[in-house]
Amino acid sequence: MVTQEIELNDALARAGIAAWETDLAELIVQLGDDLPSHILVPAIHRNRTEIRDIFRRAMGGAGRPAPTDLSDEPRALAEAARLHLREKFLRARVAISGANFAVAETGTVMVVESEGNGRMCLTLPDVLITVMGIEKVVPAWRDLEVFLQLLPRSSTAERMNPYTSMWTGVAPGDGPRAFHLVLLDNGRTDTLSDPTGRQALRCIKCSACLNVCPVYERTGGRAYGSPYPGPIGAILTPQLRGIARHPVDAQTASLPYASSLCGACFDVCPVRIDIPEVLIHLRGQVVRQHGWRARIGSDEALLMAGLGATFRSPRRLAAAERAAGLAGRFVGRSGRIGRWPAPGMLGRWLRFRDLRVPARRSFRAWWRSTGGDEGAGR
Amino acid sequence: MRVALFITCFNDLLYPEVGRATVRLLRRLGVDVAFPQEQTCCGQMHFNTGYRDACVPLVERFTTAFAGFDAVVTPSASCAAMVRGHHAIVAAEAGDAGLERSVGEVAPRVHELTEFLVDVLGVEDVGAEFRERVAYHPTCHSLRLLRVGDRPQRLLRAVRGLELVDLAGAEECCGFGGTFAVKNADTSAAMGGDKIAAVRASGASVLTSADTSCLLHLGGLISREAIPVRTLHLVEILAGGGAPA
C-alpha cells in the first residue's frame, strides 16, 4: 500500500527493474494492469472467472505461465498462483515489504498477513527493504498487544491472523543477509501538525470503515483515486497531498465531499477516528484553499453567499420565503417540480428526484398571523 | 418551564405543516410553546459544506434568539445535532469567549422532538391515532449523532391503530447528506433507490422519520417513480393529523 502511495513500482520499472507483487490479490491487480479497490482485499472487484482470464493471459509474461486448461475453481486458481509465486521467491534477490507496526524499544518491524506469501518474501531473498510510514511506530512491546488484537478482529473478524512475522535486523544463518528500513514521511508530519486531522494517522488499515460505507459500497475503491479508498482514504489522501497548505487537484479536493456524513464509519472504527468530523474539517480547508472567489462562478458559492446573507436577518429570510412561495406557485402547480433540464445543482437534484416546492405560506408567516393558534383564521 | 420551538429554516420554508403539527402536539400535552421570531438557521449547510466563516453570525443569532428558555424543541434531529455538536466548534474557531459561553448555555438545552417527549415530558403514549402501516427510517443524525435510540419507535408503537413494519437495512443512510445529494447525485440516488426498495418490500403505506431533509430526498424519489407511499414527519403522526388536509 505504502509503495503504491509513492508509486515505487513505476519508478523501478523506469529504472529497468522488474518488481512483482507477491500478495495474491495484489498479484491479480498487477497482472490485470489494474488498481487496487480495497485495503484488505485489493482485488475484490474481480470475480473468479476474470481472475482465471487474467492468470491465463498475463502469468506467462511475468514468469511461470498458468496451465492452459486452468479452471475458475478457487483451489485451481490458488495452486496456479502458488506455483507462479514460488518460482519468483526462489529467484528474487531483493524483497520489498511494507510493515503493519514497528516497536521502537527494540527496533523490531512486523508484518501481519493471511497467506504466508509475506513471510516467504521476508525470509527468502538475500536483501530485504522495508518501506514504512512513520506513524506505524509504537513505543514498546506492551503497546503492541492491543493493536495485534484490534487489527484482525476489525479487518477479517479473526481473533488472530494466521501469519505474524517479526524481525529485528538480520540473523546469521537465517533470512535475508541485509536489511534496509525506509521511514516514510510524505506528508505525515504535516498531518500530525493539524490537531483535528492528525487522528487519521491512528489508522491501522483494518478497512472496517470501507465495509460499512454506503458510498464506498456503490462507487467501489477505484473511484477514490489513491491506494487508500473508502472513508479513511477520503480523509488521509487529501492530507498527505497537502490540502492544508495549498490547493490540490480536483479529484483530491473532491474526496472530503465523497460522503453523506452518515457516521457509520466512526461507529465501527476500532481506533476511534471521528471520520465525519475530519471530513467536515477538510471541507473547510478546501473552501479556504480554493477560496469563495475562485469558485464564484459556481452556483454552490453563490448559493452559500446568498443564503448566508439571508439567514443573517429574519426579515430578509421572511421576504425570501414569500418570494420563494410565489415562485413555487408558478413552477410547480402540483406542489412539486418534476423532470426539468435545469442547470447546476437544481438540475443534478431533478435528474433523479422530484422537488417539493416551497410552501405558499411559511411557518413563520403563519405564526405571525395566528400566534400559533390553528383555530385563528387561515 | 419556558419552551421555545426551533422550526429550522428547512421546515419553515418547505414543511410548515410539520411546525404546525409540533405546536398542536406540544399544546395538547400542556406545553405552552413560544416561537422566537429572531431565529433563522443553525448553519449546518454552511458548516458541513466547508463555508465555516458564514456560520459565526448564524451561531450568534441562534444563541441570542433562544437565550433564556429552559428548553428548545426542534422537529429535526440533524439540526439539533448541529447545535449540540458543532456550535461550540464554530464559537471556539471564532475565538470569541463570550460566544463560547452563550453556546455553552443554550446548546445543551436543545432537544430533538422525540428526546423532549420521552426524556423531558416523560411520555410515550401521546394520545394519537393513525390507522396505517408505517415504516420508520431512523435518520443517520438521529441515530449516530444524537443517539436517540428507540425513542421514536416507542412513541410510534403507542399510537392507536398504527402498525409499525420492519424496514430492511433501516440503519443505512438514505443518501441525502445535504449538499452530497447534488455533489454526488448519482451515488445519492443509488442509496435512496435501495432505501425506497426496502420501503416497498415492507408493505408500508407511510414512510416516516425525524428529519424532513431525508424525506425531501426520499419523497422526491417516490414521487418520480410514482410509488404509492406517502412521506410524513413523525410529528404529523403523533399530532394525530396524519391524513392529508
CB neighbour list of residue B194: distance below 8 Å, 6 or more residues apart: B169, B172
Of A219, A260, A275, A345, which to mutate for an interface test with B (greatest number of B Cβ within 10 Å)?
Answer: A260
At A374, the pLDDT band (50, 70, 90 cuts) reads confident
One domain, residues A43 and A82 = yes
A279 pLDDT higher than 90: yes
pLDDT at A293: 59
Looking at the partner chain, which of A215, A336, A363 has a beta carbon nearest the beta carbon of B16? A363
B242 pLDDT higher than 60: no
Residues A47-67: what's their mean pLDDT?
A: 96
A296 pLDDT higher than 70: no
One domain, residues A121 and A220 = no
One domain, residues A179 and A283 = no
Looking at the partner chain, which of B15, B39, B190 has a beta carbon nearest the beta carbon of A218? B190
- Whether A122 and chain B come into contact, CB under 8 Å, resolves to no
Domain boundary among A271, A290, A309: A290
Residues A352-367: what's their mean pLDDT?
A: 95
pLDDT at B245: 32
B220 pLDDT higher than 60: yes
- Whether A267 and chain B come into contact, CB under 8 Å, resolves to yes
Q: Over the stretch A89-100, which tens digit does the pLDDT of each residue have?
A: 999 999 999 999
- CA distance linking residue A318 with residue B16, whole number of Å: 13
Of B45, B48, B78, B82, which to mutate for an interface test with A (greatest number of A Cβ within 10 Å)?
Answer: B48
pLDDT at A330: 82
Q: CA angle at residue A150 from A147 to A156, to 5 degrees? A: 130
Residues B48-52: what's their mean pLDDT?
A: 95
Residue A329 within any structural domain of the chain: yes
Size of interface A-B (CB pairs under 8 A): 185
**By residue range, what is the domain housing residue A354?**
317-370
Residue A375 within any structural domain of the chain: no
Residue A169 within any structural domain of the chain: yes
At A232, the pLDDT band (50, 70, 90 cuts) reads very high
Q: Over the stretch B163-173, which tens digit does the pLDDT of each residue have?
A: 999 999 999 99
Contact A311 B41 (CB under 8 A): yes
Domain boundary among A184, A219, A240: A184
Strands (E), chain A: 94-97, 101-103, 108-113, 127-133, 137-138, 163-167, 178-184, 336-337, 355-356
One domain, residues A162 and A24 = yes
A292 pLDDT higher than 70: no
One domain, residues A198 and A173 = no
Closest-CA distance, B221 to chain A, in angstroms, reads 5
One domain, residues A89 and A127 = yes
Q: Over the stretch B85-97, which tens digit does the pLDDT of each residue have?
A: 999 999 999 999 9
CB A136 within 8 A of CB A5: no
Average pLDDT, chain A: 94
- CA distance linking residue A260 with residue B176, whole number of Å: 7
Residues A64-72: what's their mean pLDDT?
A: 96
- CA distance linking residue B148 with residue B112, whole number of Å: 9
pLDDT at B243: 38
One domain, residues A166 and A44 = yes
Instruction: Provide the ipTM.
Output: 0.95
Per CB-CB distance under 8 Å, the chain A contacts of B230 are none
One domain, residues A203 and A259 = yes
Residue A205 sits in a domain whose CATH number is: 1.10.1060.10
Residues B181-207: what's their mean pLDDT?
A: 97
Residue A148 within any structural domain of the chain: no
Residues A229-237: what's their mean pLDDT?
A: 97
Residues A71-95: what's their mean pLDDT?
A: 95
Contact B49 A338 (CB under 8 A): no
At A335, the pLDDT band (50, 70, 90 cuts) reads confident
pLDDT at B236: 97
Q: Over the stretch A155-168, which tens digit does the pLDDT of each residue have?
A: 999 999 999 999 99
Q: Over the stretch A111-125, which tens digit does the pLDDT of each residue have?
A: 999 999 999 999 999
Query: Position B22: which residue type?
Result: T
- Whether A329 and chain B come into contact, CB under 8 Å, resolves to no
One domain, residues A279 and A361 = no
pLDDT at A295: 63
For chain B, give the percent of residues with pLDDT over 90: 98
CA dihedral A34, A36, A41, A43 (to 10 degrees): -10
B53 pLDDT higher than 90: yes
Contact A308 B13 (CB under 8 A): no
pLDDT at A297: 63
One domain, residues A39 and A116 = yes
Looking at the partner chain, which of A286, A348, A368 has a beta carbon nearest the beta carbon of B182? A348
Q: Over the stretch A197-209, which tens digit does the pLDDT of each residue have?
A: 999 999 999 999 9
Neighbours of A163 (CB within 10 A): 15
pLDDT at A1: 84
